[in-house]
Amino acid sequence: MNQLIQSLVDALSAGATLGLAALAIGLVFGVIRLANFAQGEIITASGYSIIFTWQLGWYVAIPIAILIGVILSLLMELGVFSRMRTATPATLLVASFGLSFLLQRVYELLFSNNVQTAPVAPELAQSVDVGGIRIQLLSVATIVIAGVLLFALIQFLNKSIWGLQLQAAAADFRTARLVGIPASRVIGLSFALSGILAAAVAFVSTVQTGAVGPTFGVPIVILALIGAVIGGIDKIYGALAGGFLVGFATSMLASWLPSDMSNFRDAYVFLLVIIVLIIRPSGLLVSGGTVRT
Amino acid sequence: MPSGDLGLVVRGLSVAYAGVPAVRGVDLDVPAGHAIGLIGPNGAGKSSTLLAIMGAIPHQGTVKVNGEDVDGLAPEKVVRRGISLVPEGRHVFAGLSVKDNLRLGGVGRRSQDGSADTLDYVLGLFPILAEFRDRQAGLLSGGQQQQLAIGRALMADPDILMLDEPSLGLSPTAVDTVFDALATIRSAGKAVLVVEQRAEFTVAFCERTYVLHDGTITLTLKPEDATNVDVLTKAYFG
Ligand SMILES: Nc1ncnc2c1ncn2[C@@H]1O[C@H](COP(=O)(O)OP(=O)(O)OP(=O)(O)O)[C@@H](O)[C@H]1O
Ligand SMILES: [Mg+2]
């Protein structure tokens, strides 16, 4: 019982982290059909920034990490993707792979192949006793951070005129432009938001590991991308839910698989993904196989 | 600006898809206070013409809105010169509420001043939109969605309103609602360009109706031709 609750809280927190990462991918995909693999390198950049600036205080480190995430995300759009507007989603994906590897090499040159370490928010890296059950404080914090961020984002998307423009562009880009929604503005907005989400993911991940290397964001983005696809990448909330599911399932498998099998954890996740995609090619949460025109 | 310039003037408009011509040198005049029809068989190039006017697809030729050249502008810029398109198939934002669809229509306004008045005007024209303002647009009936699509276009406060097959798939009463609204919009001094399949009805409604065939305007009809539209078009196309 005790262990079940612990692993449940951990799984909720892993789900929340990957949900945010997948949402970042889904926001951009919804607008320009780009599954941005280099989202991982935005997470890495924010991660480095947190490691290097943490001693200045969280109130300095976190805003800087957000700023770095947003700036790098916008630079990717301006420097690379905005020049590929007529490219197919497949071409865009390949370009984002290229960008991802390029940035990993840049990080290697700048910060070496070794991980950079710093104790980030060590007070979160402990367990607390809740009615006789030991719970990771970081897991609770992650769930709270993700919850607050999601609430704010949903308010923004549903209530503000900018958020509505983003939703309209994600639903029907041509019609959005016909009613006067500026393409460049909503695209920039989607990249900026995904940069903020990347910083949040970087924060909870650096607290967990205390170390960032050139490929820090890669495993996160792989699972997030899988989650986004499972949930239905072209629906903003589909991506979120899919990311959550993958994070949740991965974490649950890690705690409940017999230890000699836990090396194959990811294989089980991928098996699950393949089954889902065979049954529901357009995503779990998308009704039918709608084709965009 | 001389009043003769008000409205839409199109000269030599051509569109090709992957080198295959779809619209070949179309000229159109849509003066303020007039409703002009554009009819023709499937694939004649009607939608392509409207999309090209909005700058949504590559094209050649000149498009003047209220005397101002809009060639080479992106659709979101063209809207801000005072022309709106109600696209074929309505394309309301199905996941958003009626109210939010109308709010989004206001994004294309030249000035945010007076947007509350425009909203009142739209809700007066289509009272059903006020009644269902919080409903998800995708849950509306076809006729209601068409009213919403027109309302959304009007929220940009255009001088020229273009509609692509607004009667498609609508019940006869819903068609009446739409065309009653178009008559009101026309009498308010706006220029209306309406693409339709139903030839006789359109010719009767509009001051002038162009017949588009294979990307070329082959015939211009007056309201008095309405009763023998079939005869005229048959004589022309065999
Ligand atoms: N995106 C596109 N790519 C390639 N060809 C196209 C495209 N859109 C239209 N066409 C072709 O251009 C021609 C004109 O099409 P358009 O949609 O403008 O006709 P239309 O008069 O609106 O027809 P309908 O009455 O069926 O709506 C057709 O031959 C069509 O097949
Ligand atoms: Mg058409």
3-state secondary structure of B25: strand
Q: What angle do CA B201, B145, B97 make, to 5 degrees?
A: 160
Q: Do A167 and B93 touch (CB under 8 A)?
A: yes
Whether residue A197 is predicted with pLDDT greater than 80 in this model: the reply is yes
Between B232 and B62, the higher pLDDT residue: B62
User: For residue B15, what is the domain's CATH number?
Assistant: 3.40.50.300
Residue B83, strand partner residues: B160
Q: Which residues of B touch A (CB under 8 A)?
A: 54, 56, 74-76, 79-80, 84-85, 87, 91, 93-96, 100, 103-105, 107-109, 152-153, 156
Say yes or no to pLDDT of B2 above 60.
no
The CB-side HSE value for B126 (13 A sphere, CA atoms) comes to: 31
Give residue B31's domain range.
8-90+159-237
In a domain, A237, yes or no: yes
Work out the average pLDDT over A27-36: 92
Assigned token pair, A261? 């099998």
From ligand 1's centre to the CA of B105, what distance in Å? 26
Domain count, chain B: 1
* CA B45 / ligand 2 centre spacing (Å): 7
For the entire predicted model, the pTM comes to 0.89
Between β-strands B20-31 and A133-136, what pairing exists: parallel, antiparallel or unpaired? unpaired
Strands B191-196 and B160-164: parallel
The closest CB to that of B75, out of A167, A171, A177, belongs to A177
- A286 assigned to some structural domain: no
Contact B37, B196 (CB under 8 A): yes
Residue B29 lies in a domain: yes
Q: Please indicate, yes or no, if residue B86 is contained in any of the structural domains.
A: yes
Mean pLDDT of the residues in chain B: 93
Q: Is residue A162 part of a domain?
A: yes
Q: Does A14 map to a domain?
A: yes
pLDDT, mean over chain A: 90
User: In the structure, what pLDDT confidence band is assigned to residue A284 with cuts at 50, 70 and 90?
Assistant: low
% of chain B residues with pLDDT over 70: 95
CATH number at residue A263: 1.10.3470
Containing structural domain, residue A205? 2-279
Scan residues 181-210 of A and list those with Cβ closer than 8 Å to B.
Answer: 181-183
List, for residues A89-138, the tens digit of each pLDDT value.
Answer: 899 999 999 999 999 999 999 999 999 999 999 888 888 888 788 888 99
- Let me know if residue A68 belongs to a domain: yes
**Token couple for B4:** 């003769």
What are the C-alpha distances in Å from B129 to residues A19, B88, B118, B188, B203? 36, 20, 13, 20, 29
| Rounded distance between C-alpha atoms, residue B54 and residue B85, angstroms | 7
In this prediction, residue A285 carries a pLDDT of 62
Beta carbon of B26 within 6 Å of any ligand 1 atom: no
Structural domain count of chain A: 1
Query: Given pLDDT bands bounded at 50, 70 and 90, which one contains residue B1?
Result: very low
Q: Quick check: A288 pLDDT over 50? A: no
B148 belongs to a structural domain: no
Question: pLDDT tens digits for B136-169?
Answer: 999 999 999 999 999 999 999 999 999 999 999 9
Give which of A175, A187, A234 to mutate to test B binding, by max B Cβ within 10 Å: A175
